Amino acid sequence: MYLSTGRKAPSRKGSMHDVPKDLMKQIKELEQQFTIDTAKLHEIVAKFQFELEKGLSKEGGSIPMNPTWVIGYPSGEETGTFLALDLGGTNLRVCEVELPEEKGQYDIYQSKYRLPEELKTGTGEQLFDYIAECVKQFLIANHEGQDISELSDLHLGFTFSYPCHQDAIDHGVLQRWTKGFDIEGVEGHDVVPMFEEALERKGVPIKITALVNDTTGTLIASAYTDPTTKIGCIFGTGCNAAYMEEVGCVPKLDHMNLDPNLQIAINCEWGAFDNERVVLPRTAYDNHIDKTSPRPGQQIFEKMVAGLYLGEIFRLVLVDLHANPEVSIFEGQDISALREEYSLDASFLADIESDPWENLMETQVLFEKTLKIDTTEPERKLIRRLAELIGTRAARLSACGVAAICKMKGFTSCHVGADGSVFNKYPNFQKRGAQALREIFGWDKSVRKDPIQIVPAEDGSGVGAALIAALTMKRINAGIHAGVNVKRKNSLIPPA
């Protein structure tokens, strides 16, 4: 027993010699379904690149490639105090960010508020009233002795990480909810006035300066401290990326007659890749997830790689194996807890993958505690292999998106700033993604340092959103009004 010796747990390679034939056969089948070999990686990257380009064209494609009106990188010399607000999947975060005189530095004060589950399926008004109330509470706590009505000079960057059509930085029509949200009366509407009205109802006078996607925030925050950053990615509940594009390479902006050399951040919304279902090797489990989701046929790529879905894919496979008469798994056990939809999240898989013991005893405890299922050692070996397959597939597919942007833009060496729970917490996700990039770009052992590296990002929805608010105000103060909404009730542009 390793436990009693107190020495470091060994890394578990594991052997399959004691796994019965029926389980072994299933493992082989699962390997076939979930493995993406090098040839398939190439095929996916080529199609991904084609679809990214199509998204920039006048006709458009299924990947939205939304221009964000974040124009150019920060210089590192942005200054001032800004608010940032992040509507994440489980929390709401309010930050006050100070950008001091020193280049590339920042100070941040923040509070987190839980986002009640029922708000995710309620009405838009309920959601925005709740957010406005949190902002109010934050300001009361952080500006003691000051009247809230005196804070009207504060500008806020609102990180709202859902696909929005933006024809100005302070304007964004929600195209559709993603990541399991399903709130009535918001799709097809500009979220900025909705939020502003809620702030007004609560008597909070601050200005919404920029609507920011988490990927754009990540790109800008990372480029602020590391100018080699060319892409910002989120691998979390959802999955997406942003990068800086020349206006001249965006045919769908031609009608605006902008300077073709202007740099504009593009929020790809690449979760929608392969909505036509032609290239991704989807399993019956992926199909089931899509069909039973609030938005079938959408976010097809995201549904294979993002944290929201990894636990569910895993759960579906196990329920299916249990029902299969040719397989004996969890014999005679009550699997009702396992039958509950979306009951396992990506951290469950992460815990299985982190189990260091040869006999996977931590996995045994996990199954017993969470699902009331007593597992045999061969069953746990299948469970472990399944988690590896799902986690590896997610990492390799994610790398395809990064590679496609690099190929499209001709980036041969750069940093990709990445954030999100899967990137930060899922074991081996980063290593597996790096391996896939090596296969895609053909870097062999003679290449000592990978030229394109996916690295942990700076805080995009805090510092990034604040920087974007700062960049926007700098532009307005310089009289450059392109990409700012003049028609809005509380327009940032003072009347002439």
Q: Active-site residue numbers?
A: 161, 176, 214
From CA 108, how far away is CA 98, in angstroms rounded? Answer: 6
Q: How far is the CB of 215 from ligand GLC (least distance, A)?
A: 5
Nearer to ligand GLC, 295 or 407 (CB): 295
**461 in contact with ligand GLC (CB under 6 A):** no
Q: CA angle 40-45-49, nearest 5°?
A: 155
* 66-71 and 80-87 strand pairing: unpaired
**472 in contact with ligand GLC (CB under 6 A):** no
Kindly indicate which of the ranges 57-65, 108-116, 231-239, 290-298 contains the residues binding ligand GLC, using the contact rule CB under 6 A: 231-239
| Token pair 């006709």 in the structure block, residue | 59
Reduce the DSSP state of residue 452 to 3 states and report it.
strand
Q: How far is the CB of 66 from ligand GLC (least distance, A)?
A: 9
**161 in contact with ligand GLC (CB under 6 A):** yes
Binding test (CB under 6 A) with ligand GLC, winner from 62, 213, 222, 229: 213
Summarize the chain as % helix, strand, coil (round to 5): 45, 15, 40
Nearer to ligand GLC, 211 or 366 (CB): 211
Binding to ligand GLC (CB under 6 A) within 362-381 occurs at none
Kindly indicate which of the ranges 209-217, 403-411, 424-432, 480-488 contains the residues binding ligand GLC, using the contact rule CB under 6 A: 209-217
Nearer to ligand GLC, 161 or 209 (CB): 161
Nearer to ligand GLC, 157 or 271 (CB): 271
Nearer to ligand GLC, 303 or 396 (CB): 303
Kindly indicate which of the ranges 19-27, 195-203, 211-219, 471-479 contains the residues binding ligand GLC, using the contact rule CB under 6 A: 211-219
Kindly indicate which of the ranges 106-114, 155-163, 404-412, 479-487 contains the residues binding ligand GLC, using the contact rule CB under 6 A: 155-163
| CA 431 remoteness from chain centre | 18
Q: How far is the CB of 268 from ligand GLC (least distance, A)?
A: 9
Nearer to ligand GLC, 271 or 464 (CB): 271
State phi, psi for 357 to the nearest 5 degrees.
-90, 140
Nearer to ligand GLC, 214 or 245 (CB): 214
In eight-state DSSP terms, residue 249 is G
Binding test (CB under 6 A) with ligand GLC, winner from 193, 238, 417, 460: 238
Residue environment code for 191-209, b if the CB has 16+ CB neighbours within 10 A, otherwise e: bbbbbbebbeebebbbbbb
Kindly indicate which of the ranges 24-32, 212-220, 335-343, 473-481 contains the residues binding ligand GLC, using the contact rule CB under 6 A: 212-220
Residue nearest ligand GLC, Cβ-based: 238
Q: Can you say whether the dihedral through the CA atoms of 151, 155, 160, 166 is positive or negative? A: positive
Q: How far is the CB of 400 from ligand GLC (least distance, A)?
A: 16
Q: How far is the CB of 179 from ligand GLC (least distance, A)?
A: 5
Burial of 428 (0-12, 13-18, 19+ CB in 10 A): middle
Nearer to ligand GLC, 250 or 272 (CB): 272
Kindly indicate which of the ranges 230-238, 331-339, 365-373, 399-407 contains the residues binding ligand GLC, using the contact rule CB under 6 A: 230-238
**162 in contact with ligand GLC (CB under 6 A):** yes
Q: What kind and span of H or E run contains 310?
A: helix 307-323
**179 in contact with ligand GLC (CB under 6 A):** yes
Binding to ligand GLC (CB under 6 A) within 264-323 occurs at 269, 271, 302
Kindly indicate which of the ranges 21-29, 130-138, 157-165, 320-328 contains the residues binding ligand GLC, using the contact rule CB under 6 A: 157-165
**214 in contact with ligand GLC (CB under 6 A):** yes
Q: How far is the CB of 163 from ligand GLC (least distance, A)?
A: 5
Residue 479: CB atoms within 10 Å: 7
From CA 147, how far away is CA 253, in angstroms rounded? Answer: 43
Are 289 and 303 in contact by the 8 Å Cβ rule? The answer is: yes
Q: CA angle 166-53-422, nearest 5°?
A: 70
From CA 163, how far away is CA 160, in angstroms rounded? Answer: 9
From CA 18, how far away is CA 21, in angstroms rounded? Answer: 9
State phi, psi for 192 to the nearest 5 degrees.
-65, -55
* 207-212 and 155-160 strand pairing: parallel
Could you tell me how many residues of this chain bind ligand GLC (CB under 6 A)? 16
Are 329 and 20 in contact by the 8 Å Cβ rule? The answer is: no
**391 in contact with ligand GLC (CB under 6 A):** no
| CA 257 remoteness from chain centre | 32
Nearer to ligand GLC, 388 or 419 (CB): 419
Q: How far is the CB of 113 from ligand GLC (least distance, A)?
A: 18
- Return the bridge partners of 155, or none: 82, 207
From CA 172, how far away is CA 66, in angstroms rounded? Answer: 10
Are 209 and 171 in contact by the 8 Å Cβ rule? The answer is: no
Site for ligand GLC, rule CB under 6 A: 161-163, 178-179, 213-215, 234, 236, 238-240, 269, 271, 302
